[in-house]
Homo-oligomer: A and B are copies of this chain.
Amino acid sequence: MNAPSFSALHLKVACSNCNLRELCLPIGLSLAEVDKLEELVATRKRIKRGDSLFRAGDRFESLYAVRLGFLKSTVVSADGREQVTGFHMAGELVGMDGISNEQHSCDTVALEDTEVCVIPYDRIEEVATSVPALRSHFHKVMSREIVREHGVMLLLGSMHAEERLAAFLLNLSQRFEARGYSRSEFVLRMTRAEIGSFLGLKLETVSRALSRFATDGLIEVNQKHVRIVDPEGLRAIMTGQGSQSEPR
């Protein structure tokens, strides 16, 4: 390590001082419990844009809490098809896919320079014995991931291209807002192809839908920069009410 004292400092103030704690932690933990939690976080890790945090097949050892940055997770089928299963931003926990097999089943790659807290899984299991509130919170986080994926299945299984993209933009918007960023203006960290993979569409379809939204005055797009002009309009599209000029 280049700067051990820097790392140590970081370790000391982890969690209790972290501006992500409302996202990571259960509310109402006692100070003693937060202390316990801080023992969890072994180290920080930086991942440069394009590098992977872990890959399918890697031995599972830790979960990771995103501190800063942006990642994607992808699964690859036997015949080589790739599917983006999610995008992850600050405050989110990644790596839970690895628990079942003691081995990761997806790749997780940084889409911009990223920093994560490394949480060794055996420590989580230890703390799960002694701090019920943390264990219970951990269960909720896993359950929330299951519910999130139900939502993605609904999107992939029953929505049209523009509906999917509207839902995607609104979801991003809401997540940025929850982190204190603008809900109406943000930068897409991923390519059109990656959005397409996540939404079950081709990149051209994503591009066309974005262009259509722009000409309809719902958003402004400039490459990766997006401004949401008419969130209600997007919501209408998402729920299948987009441009029904003729009610029969």
Binding site for B on A (CB under 8 A): 75, 77-79, 81-85, 96-101, 105-106, 125, 128-129, 132, 135-136, 139-147, 149-154, 156-159, 197-200, 239-241
Contact = CB atoms under 8 A, between A and B. Distances in A.
Given A77-B158, A85-B150, 4 more contacts: A81-B159, A83-B154, A84-B157, A125-B132
B100 A147 contact: yes
A50 B146 CA distance: 25
A82 B151 CA distance: 11
15 contacts: A75-B151, A78-B239, A81-B158, A81-B240, A96-B146, A97-B143, A105-B150, A125-B135, A125-B136, A129-B135, A146-B149, A149-B149, A149-B152, A152-B153, A156-B200
Contacts of A241: 79
A145 B81 CA distance: 21
From DSSP, what is the main secondary structure of chain A's interface residues? helix
A110 B179 CA distance: 40
B147 A146 contact: no
A154 B99 contact: no
Contacts of A153: 75, 83, 85, 149, 152-153, 156
A75 B154 contact: yes
- Taken together, the copies of this chain in the complex come to 2
A99 to B, nearest CB: 4
Contacts of A79: 239-241
A137 to B, nearest CB: 10
A79 to B, nearest CB: 4
A156 B198 CA distance: 10
A105 B152 CA distance: 14
Contacts of A81: 154, 158-159, 240
A98 to B, nearest CB: 7
A199 B153 CA distance: 9
Nearest to A106: B150
Q: Which 7 A-B pairs have the closest CB atoms?
A: A99-B143, A157-B200, A156-B156, A100-B143, A79-B239, A149-B149, A100-B144
Nearest to A84: B157
A98 B143 CA distance: 7
B83 A157 contact: yes
